[in-house]
Amino acid sequence: MYTQSITRSHRTAFVLLIDGSGSMAEEIRFRGKPMTKAEAVASITNGLLFELIERARRNDGVRDYYDIAVMTYSGNDEVYSLLPDGRKMISVAELAAREAPVRREIIECRMPDGSTALREIPSPAWVSPEAAGQTPMHQALDEACELLAEWCRNPAHAESFPPTVFNITDGEATDCDDDELRAVARRLCSLRTCDGNVLLINIHIAPGDTQQAVFFPSEEEADYPNRYARLLYDCSSQMPEVFNEAIREAKGPGALPPFRGMSYNASAEQLIAMLNIGSISVKTE
């Protein structure tokens, strides 16, 4: 299980669900700088899309190793695609062919003497920050369910590595209660290919950089002091064994599986590491 190589004949899918609700306007510290959660989420999302595209780039161009969906949920219980022309899902090659606006991003480099240097570099931006209205997370997961049920039904995908869903949120759904959220997450994770079930990875953003970051938590690590912690833990997939080595390498030798596919806390840089591990732990050849 979870061992199928991701190739053009066995492509997989990545779905990014982005909380764009009003609460995302709250400020956090991201890469040492104050910014809104929405800006951090956009940066993380663009970084993941960049990573997915570059990992599919070979000498003959970007290969169709996977399909990608990027949906935001916000406003008046709205869930909509952020992809070009509002399409629900496109191949990574199609996404790469659409030129993303290139913005100038200031990055912070820490010097050996402890000082920092700032540099402005170009950075492609497929997604812009959004923060408005409600948090229809249930609806977003439900639409992801629908999208991936169809994807998994496609005979061409029967033997593929199963789709991975990244849900980036501050945790507060406004269109369901906790049990309903757990139920829709279970339904999403029950979808499967021959190679395994859909993976749902919840990235929980919360302000306050003094709190302990949690990263692919084990059972005992999930009891961090946040009212949405246990709920998101319950809604997250248990990471397959094939990921354990990469997760242990990232967390340190003392980390013991099983791990859950989630992260928590304000150190938004942790989120990038989590996303990247999620994307590099699978074989792409």
Interface residues with another protein (CB under 8 A) are: 47, 50-51, 54-59, 99, 102, 107, 109-112, 117, 119, 121-122, 124, 213, 249-250, 267-273, 276, 280, 285
3-state secondary structure of 60: coil
- For another protein, the closer CB: 59 or 76: 59
The least CB distance from residue 13 to another protein, in Å, is: 20
- For another protein, the closer CB: 227 or 285: 285
Which residue type does 95 have? L
- For another protein, the closer CB: 9 or 59: 59
- For another protein, the closer CB: 124 or 133: 124
How far is residue 154's CA from residue 232's CA, in Å, rounded to a whole number? 29
The least CB distance from residue 260 to another protein, in Å, is: 18
Q: Report in angstroms the alpha-carbon separations of 43 from 125, 130, 238.
A: 8, 12, 26
91: tokens are 């191949």
- For another protein, the closer CB: 150 or 241: 241
The least CB distance from residue 250 to another protein, in Å, is: 5
C-beta atoms surrounding 8 within 10 Å: 12
The least CB distance from residue 217 to another protein, in Å, is: 15
- For another protein, the closer CB: 36 or 276: 276
Q: Which residue has the tokens 């764009």?
A: 20
From 54, 125, 74, 62, select the one nearest 279 (Cα to Cα).
54
Cβ neighbours of residue 118 closer than 8 Å, sequence gap 6 or more: 106, 107, 108, 109
The least CB distance from residue 133 to another protein, in Å, is: 30
The least CB distance from residue 120 to another protein, in Å, is: 10
The alpha carbon of residue 279 and the mean position of all alpha carbons in its chain are separated, in whole angstroms, by 9
